[in-house]
Amino acid sequence: MKNLFKVMVIVTVASLLFVSCSKKTEPTAMAEEKKVALKVGMVTDAGTIDDKSFNQGTWEGILKAGDELGVTVKYLKPVGTTEADYLKEIGNLYDAGYKFIVTPGFKFETTIFKAQDKYADAKFVIIDGTPHNADYSEFRAEKNVISIFFAEHESGFMAGVAAALELKDGKFGFIGGMEIPAVQKFNWGFQQGIIYANENFGTTINLDAENIIYQGTFSDVAAGQQLAAQMFDKGVSAIFCAAGGVGVGAINEAKSRAQAGEEKWIIGVDVDQYSEGIYEGEKSIILTSAMKRIDVAAYDMIAEDLKGAFQGGATLTFNAANNGVGIPAKNPNLSADVTSKVAKVYADVQNGTVVVSAEQGSLIK
Amino acid sequence: MDYVIEMEKIRKEFPGIVANDDISINLKKGEVLALLGENGAGKSTLMSILFGLYRPDSGNIKVNGELVSIQNPNQAGELGIGMVHQHFKLVHNFTITENIILGREPKGFKIDLSDARKKIIELSEKYNLNVDPDEKIENVSVGMQQRVEILKMLYRDANILIFDEPTAVLTPQEIVELMKIMKNLIAEGKSIILITHKLKEIKQVADRCTVIRRGKVIDTVDVKNSSLAEMAEKMVGREVSFTVNKEKADPKNEILEVKNLNVINSRKVLAVKDFSFSVKAGEIVGLAGVDGNGQTELIEAITGLTKIESGEILLNGNNINHLSIKERINAGISHIPEDRHKHGLVLDYSLEENMVLEQIDNEKYSQNGFLKKDAIRSHAESVIKDFDVRSGRGPITIVRSMSGGNQQKAIVGREIFQNPDLLIAVQPTRGLDVGSIEYIHKRLIEQRDSGKAVLLVSLELDEVLDLSDRIVVINNGEFVGEVLASETNENEVGLMMAGVQKGENS
Amino acid sequence: MNLNSDKFRALWVALISVFLGLVAGAILMALTGHNPFEGYTYLFQGGLMNIERIGNTLATSTALFLTGISVAFAFKTGLFNIGASGQMLMGGLFATAIGLTWDLPKPILLPIILIASIIGGGLWALIPGLLKAKFNVHEVVATIMMNWIAYWTINYTIPAYFKGEYLETESRIIGNNASLRVEWLTDLFNGSYINLGFFIAVAVIIIIAIVLDKTVLGFTLKAVGFNKESAKYSGMNVNKSIILSMMIAGGLAGLGGATFYLGYSSNIQIGVLPAQGFDGIAVALLGANNPYGALAAAVFFGLLHSGKGFMNAMTDVPPEIGDTIIATIIYFAATSLLIHKFLDKITAFFKGGLKK
């Protein structure tokens, strides 16, 4: 019985810790006065809600909608990552009255394909994917589904231009996760950005084929660190990482080099990763980040629905023109001169003067 | 009074059984009191109460005339009560000194053993225990381990020593040693309670003897004035015969022949050397030898548990060198193993399941891979009836809950029921009370009389001499000689066990 | 006491364990500022509210039946199989490989797939079995290592040979003729994920119960499990039994893999060591290593997993706390040893009390 008592004490202490933690992250703390009837739910992909990527970006947008628009928000974490697990959580949200459901990631494509018929009176937003059936024989988005894509190439392009302008010469590298379209488009845009800067601003940046590598996973931290170390040893000064956990490894390598006095940079992806790269005080090795404004997309969809303007059945692309992609507004590692030059290029991309291709064309890999 | 221990009307019940039914005993200072009783009579329970392992349901305990309540072994220790358990509680890779101070370590960050070591040497010399304080337990004999346990009690200044079946694990020589040590202890003013069912030992060393049967005290007698037969009768509740009654053997054809056998043991040492002997139908051959002289390896080779190095084993004239254990069982070898818990039984199986362990795939007990539960049940019932196996719930009793004697009777019954041509019985009566011993001896002789071959291995010379028709002596793995039981005596065989060839000293 | 008092007691222990688990979960909920009664109401509603949810609960339990019985079977025969996860993966790999390669009518293909999954899991357990039998390598160590070998084998094999067109981290989706889902069952349960795997698992549990209780094989394996030495002295082939026992346990977990990847899911994913393999240990513990006990325990765990999402959706309990609550319940439910000791004391107390 003594043991049981010990266990009880441990459980109690552990739960008290949880209380203190959960208070801080309580998602439903929001402005009571602006309460509206809409309940917005989200089902997370593999990974946690604070993954600095898709889950977190989507949830931040939904949370903002909760604060500013007064909608009720909730996210659920599936037991596994199969279609059955995802659909079950959608069912749970639906049964609990959450009839506006946001799902981050292409892994939800077949799930939403089924859910759109099963829960015909609910609305779905799928990010980075479009509903289709299991064997890709049928692509179909009903009137209750919006598919959202991002112009990753434009984001990569802006990061390429900004990085080239700041460092002026030397070698750059690219580490990708898996060789899938979203990652490839980041790569191709990045290459075009460097070429643009070399041609228009007189920079001399080299991006050699040997320094463009797809690691093959989004999770192998150790491999990321090794790849980054090899590139840095070959004289590469900045690496663009569109690789999830692999990128974390690269960031760690750059941090340890920075602490040893070397000047090595990482260009972040998806969200502003500046805080990830801090190695001393406020100094970070994140030069800039190629962002996809997932939070903006999620927030906008909710806001439009409240106005009665839900664009059911549509496939929306978030690009520079609608401020859906780009680099962070504040880049402490970029000079004011670079920032203003980049702003001009961004305006050109927005108005179509500069066109960034989403295809490989003559680019490397 | 001058009683050091008085236990009055001690009562202890376990589910379904009254282990101690108002038992009263007392121990005088400077005497050896024997507690005599059959397996399961309640001796160990009573001593566990005295040692603080169990608490009595009712009754009083007085130590040196004062009423005490003993909650745990530590309290017992403080009252000067120490116990040598049947199964030693020693750490094998610790030295003897380390084992003795275990639980009584000198205080401080670093343990200083020098004082303890000095005290151990003193005690060892005083009581003539002959213990080397720096040797590791794993390197010393069983007898030495027991002396370490005794030293452990003396180190803790115990005055009342309880010995629980101390001779069960000892060789005859070690038993003689122990008896001497016990007399030394008494001479130094200690008092001893000896739990045993071996009458001879009581006669040798005890002053008084309290006989317990089925949880009750039957009588307390002065050992000097009582005969073995009297005490045995009190213990068992009926007259017991000590002499084995048997007709003269009528050996026929050779069942087992072992020729020039060599066996290497697990330590890669040649344990059986060029050994030859035979067992004929209708006779009991006793294999005599001091423990650890190759008997185990020889038996394992015959039963197929160990591979042989060279030589030949013939059963009914056929070479069985390459048969598996299973095939040898089927060919007619039955084996009553030395260690019934480790080798003879699956303790968590029921009695009926244990009765068919070797024969489960025999079509008598299974068909197309499915068990014939009725046949298994009725087989168990016959063994139970035939061999007087007593248990709480009959065939479905879990064997772990049965007493040692009944477990052994069940094994003997199982093996004899297989109607083997050759029955190998290793220490078949080890740790049993006289009633059970008598019974098992009778059954072994019946087996012989029905024309089967019996190979008996025993460390107890009495048993070998009483039961065997022919005695084969093994020493250091070698064949020493062969004598007819009717033409030899304890002395001659004892010398042969020590390696002296027959006739050498005459 | 009746003749079945041991089994009776095991049932009591299980029920008390579950109760304690629920109490611990309730304390956790209360401490994090949530109403436990409300939480549990939604938890059980989430698992049982309608026919579809019941179907989903059973579907979630299916793989647990098989990993639970895998661990329980190994336990019964004296082995500790921690490798159910890896065996599940290999069973799933074999099944998926055949499902994606051969195009046969469903009634022919399904039996082949199921047998392949049993072989896959069985072979994976053969290695720890051999290591244990021949070199006395402890099966706990060997099976844990085999888990990771399976994990990386999948990580390599799936992208290399069975990669989906767009899904880098998953195999292609299996065709309808290789799926354990059947339309009438899905319709009967109103669109639930319940599939033939459930019935196969229940049938397998009954078969295993019969094997353990009524056959020479079960008799031999259990004897070896209880006491190797006595089994050897009785002429049983101990090494063969250990290997066979591991293989059967592995085969069961492998079949669990088939029901999971081709029934509950419709492809196999890389980078995931299925949690069912480890939950199987808890299932076996709670089920007292009895096949039917494991069945009940698996349904209970399936209910928890399946109802958790609804509880999260209906209350303010965040999913992370929800996971912790479920884990706490499972943890407490599996601490039956404590309950056994506690019951011993209670019994002793009442025995003593009645006498006076």
The answer to whether residues C277 and C125 touch, using CB atoms and an 8 Å cutoff, is: no
Task: Please report the pLDDT score of residue A333 as a whole number.
Answer: 93
Task: Please report the pLDDT score of residue A29 as a whole number.
Answer: 43
Domain ranges of chain A: 31-150+295-320, 152-291+335-351
Task: Please report the pLDDT score of residue C289 as a whole number.
Answer: 87
pLDDT in tens, A256-300: 999 999 999 999 999 899 998 999 888 999 999 999 999 999 999
B464 half-sphere exposure, CB direction, 13 A CA radius: 31
pLDDT at A18 over 60: no
Indicate the pairing of strand B216-222 with strand B58-63. unpaired
Q: How confident is the model at residue A6 (pLDDT cuts 50, 70, 90)?
A: low
Task: Please report the pLDDT score of residue A26 as a whole number.
Answer: 43
Indicate the pairing of strand B366-367 with strand B370-371. antiparallel
Task: Please report the pLDDT score of residue B72 as a whole number.
Answer: 86
Contact list, C355 vs chain B (CB under 8 Å): 13, 57
pLDDT at C5 over 50: yes
The answer to whether residues B400 and B350 touch, using CB atoms and an 8 Å cutoff, is: no
Task: Please report the pLDDT score of residue A61 as a whole number.
Answer: 94
Contact list, A41 vs chain C (CB under 8 Å): 313
pLDDT at B269 over 90: no
Q: How confident is the model at residue B351 (pLDDT cuts 50, 70, 90)?
A: very high
Task: Please report the pLDDT score of residue C104 as a whole number.
Answer: 93
Tell me if residue B347 falls in helix, strand or coil. coil
> Residue A92 and residue C309: Cβ atoms within 8 Å?
yes
Q: How confident is the model at residue A304 (pLDDT cuts 50, 70, 90)?
A: very high
Q: DSSP secondary-structure letter at C321?
A: H
Task: Please report the pLDDT score of residue A10 as a whole number.
Answer: 55
Determine the Cα angle at C68 with ends C67 and C70, to 5°.
60
Please give the full DSSP string across B188-218, using - where no structure is assigned.
Answer: TT-EEEEEE--HHHHHHH-SEEEEEETTEEE
| Count of helices and strands (H, E) across chain C | 15, 0
Q: How confident is the model at residue B199 (pLDDT cuts 50, 70, 90)?
A: confident
Contact list, A28 vs chain C (CB under 8 Å): 316
Touching check for C27 and chain A: CB below 8 Å?
Answer: yes
Tell me if residue B22 falls in helix, strand or coil. strand
Evaluate whether chains B and C are touching (3 or more beta carbon pairs less than 8 Å apart).
Answer: yes
Mean pLDDT calculated for residue range A26-38: 56
The answer to whether residues C211 and C133 touch, using CB atoms and an 8 Å cutoff, is: no
Which of A154-168, B25-39, B480-494, C30-44 has the highest average model confidence (pLDDT)?
Answer: A154-168
Long-range contacts of B216-224, Cβ-Cβ distance < 8 Å, separation of 24 or more: B216/B21, B216/B22, B216/B23, B217/B23, B217/B24, B217/B25, B220/B25, B223/B34
> Residue C232 and residue B344: Cβ atoms within 8 Å?
no
CA-based nearest residue in chain B for residue C216: B369
Pick from A178-182, C9-13, C75-79, C352-356: least confident = C352-356
Q: How far apart are CA C31 and CA B246, in angstroms?
A: 80
Exposed, middle or buried, B245 (CB in 10 Å: 0-12/13-18/19+)? exposed
Mean pLDDT calculated for residue range A339-353: 94
- Cβ neighbours for B352, distance < 8 A, ≥ 6 positions apart: B376, B377, B379, B380, B395, B396
Touching check for C4 and chain B: CB below 8 Å?
Answer: no
Q: How far apart are CA B311 and CA B314, in angstroms?
A: 10
C304 half-sphere exposure, CB direction, 13 A CA radius: 23
pLDDT at C207 over 90: yes
Q: Please, where are the H alpha helices in B321-460? A: 325-331, 351-354, 373-387, 404-417, 434-449
Contact list, B358 vs chain C (CB under 8 Å): 234-235
pLDDT at B468 over 70: yes
Touching check for C23 and chain A: CB below 8 Å?
Answer: no
The gap from C-alpha B289 to its chain's centroid, in whole angstroms, comes to 16
Domain A152-291+335-351 in the same topology as domain A31-150+295-320 = yes
pLDDT at A20 over 60: no
Mean pLDDT calculated for residue range B468-480: 92
The answer to whether residues A283 and A307 touch, using CB atoms and an 8 Å cutoff, is: no
Q: How far apart are CA B191 and CA B4, in angstroms?
A: 8
Task: Please report the pLDDT score of residue A8 as a whole number.
Answer: 53
C233 closest CB neighbour out of B335, B353, B366: B335
The answer to whether residues C275 and C78 touch, using CB atoms and an 8 Å cutoff, is: no
Tokens 């008799």 found at: C219
B partners (3+ CB pairs within 8 A) are: C
Start-to-end Cα distance in chain C: 21
Please give the full DSSP string across C116-179, using - where no structure is assigned.
Answer: HHHHHHHHHHHHHHHHHHHH---HHHHHHHHHHHHHHHHHHHHHHHSB-SS-TTBBPPPPGGG-
Residue B62, both tokens = 């007085």
Query: A152-291+335-351: which CATH topology?
Result: Rossmann fold (3.40.50)
Touching check for C51 and chain A: CB below 8 Å?
Answer: no
Query: What is the length of chain A?
Result: 365
Distance from CA of B213 to the nearest CA of C (A): 24
The answer to whether residues A42 and A59 touch, using CB atoms and an 8 Å cutoff, is: yes
Instruction: Look at residues C16, C226, A355, C190 and name the one whose alpha carbon lies nearest to residue B341.
Output: C226
Task: Please report the pLDDT score of residue C37 as a whole number.
Answer: 92
pLDDT at C191 over 70: yes
Q: How confident is the model at residue A197 (pLDDT cuts 50, 70, 90)?
A: very high
Mean pLDDT calculated for residue range A107-114: 91
pLDDT at B254 over 50: yes
Domain ranges of chain C: 61-288
- Cβ neighbours for B197, distance < 8 A, ≥ 6 positions apart: B36, B37, B38, B39, B165, B235, B432, B433, B434
Residue A248, both tokens = 């974390």
Q: How confident is the model at residue A245 (pLDDT cuts 50, 70, 90)?
A: confident
Average pLDDT, whole number, for chain A? 88
pLDDT at A27 over 80: no
pLDDT in tens, A316-334: 999 999 889 999 988 899 9
Q: How confident is the model at residue C168 (pLDDT cuts 50, 70, 90)?
A: low
Q: To the nearest 5 percent, what fractions of chain C are helix, strand and coil?
A: 80, 0, 20
Exposed, middle or buried, C105 (CB in 10 Å: 0-12/13-18/19+)? exposed
Instruction: Look at residues C296, C219, C206 and name the one whose alpha carbon lies nearest to residue C252.
Output: C206
Type of residue found at B126 = K
> Residue B371 and residue C214: Cβ atoms within 8 Å?
yes
Task: Please report the pLDDT score of residue B503 as a whole number.
Answer: 59
Q: How far is CA C338 from CA A4, A59, C301, in A?
A: 7, 42, 20
How many other C-beta atoms can be found within 10 angstroms of the C-beta atom of residue C125? Answer: 34
The answer to whether residues A217 and C271 touch, using CB atoms and an 8 Å cutoff, is: yes
Query: What is the length of chain C?
Result: 356
Q: Over pLDDT 70: what percentage of chain B?
A: 96
B14 φ/ψ angles, rounded to the nearest 5 degrees: -115, 160
Superfamily of domain A31-150+295-320: Response regulator (3.40.50.2300)
Q: How far apart are CA C21 and CA A311, in angstroms?
A: 47
The answer to whether residues B433 and B38 touch, using CB atoms and an 8 Å cutoff, is: yes
Q: Please, where are the H alpha helices in chain A? A: 2-25, 54-69, 83-95, 109-118, 152-167, 181-201, 221-233, 245-259, 294-306, 336-351
Touching check for C209 and chain B: CB below 8 Å?
Answer: no
Contact list, A179 vs chain C (CB under 8 Å): 168
Mutate which of C230, C244, C289, C349 to test chain B, going by most B C-beta atoms within 10 A?
Answer: C230
Q: How confident is the model at residue B16 (pLDDT cuts 50, 70, 90)?
A: low
B57 closest CB neighbour out of C217, C219, C355: C355
Task: Please report the pLDDT score of residue C344 as a whole number.
Answer: 73
Mean pLDDT calculated for residue range B202-220: 90
Q: How far is CA C260 from CA A136, A169, C105, C196, in A?
A: 22, 54, 21, 11
Q: Over pLDDT 70: what percentage of chain A?
A: 90
Instruction: Look at residues C325, C293, C211 and name the one whose alpha carbon lies nearest to residue C14.
Output: C293
Please give the full DSSP string across C252-275, using - where no structure is assigned.
Answer: HHHHHHHHIIIIISSS-BSS---T
Q: How far apart are CA C157 and CA C306, in angstroms?
A: 31
- Cβ neighbours for A311, distance < 8 A, ≥ 6 positions apart: A146, A304
Long-range contacts of B416-419, Cβ-Cβ distance < 8 Å, separation of 24 or more: B416/B334, B416/B387, B416/B443, B416/B447, B417/B355, B417/B379, B417/B382, B417/B383, B417/B386, B418/B329, B418/B334, B418/B358, B418/B359, B419/B452
Q: How far apart are CA A108 and CA A147, in angstroms?
A: 11
Q: Which residue has the higher pLDDT, B495 or A149?
A: A149
A141 half-sphere exposure, CB direction, 13 A CA radius: 20
Pick from A231-235, B94-98, B281-285: least confident = B94-98
Start-to-end Cα distance in chain B: 56
Q: Which residue has the higher pLDDT, A232 or A281?
A: A232
Average pLDDT, whole number, for chain C? 89
Task: Please report the pLDDT score of residue A11 as a whole number.
Answer: 52
pLDDT at A173 over 80: yes
Query: Which residues does residue A169 pair with via DSSP β-bridges, in sequence order?
Result: A204
Q: How far apart are CA A290 and CA A285, in angstroms?
A: 15
pLDDT in tens, B161-176: 999 888 766 766 778 8
Q: How far apart are CA A18 and CA A21, in angstroms?
A: 5
Contact list, A9 vs chain C (CB under 8 Å): none
Task: CATH number for B3-236: choose from 3.30.390.10, 3.40.109.10, 2.30.30.190, 3.40.50.300.
Answer: 3.40.50.300
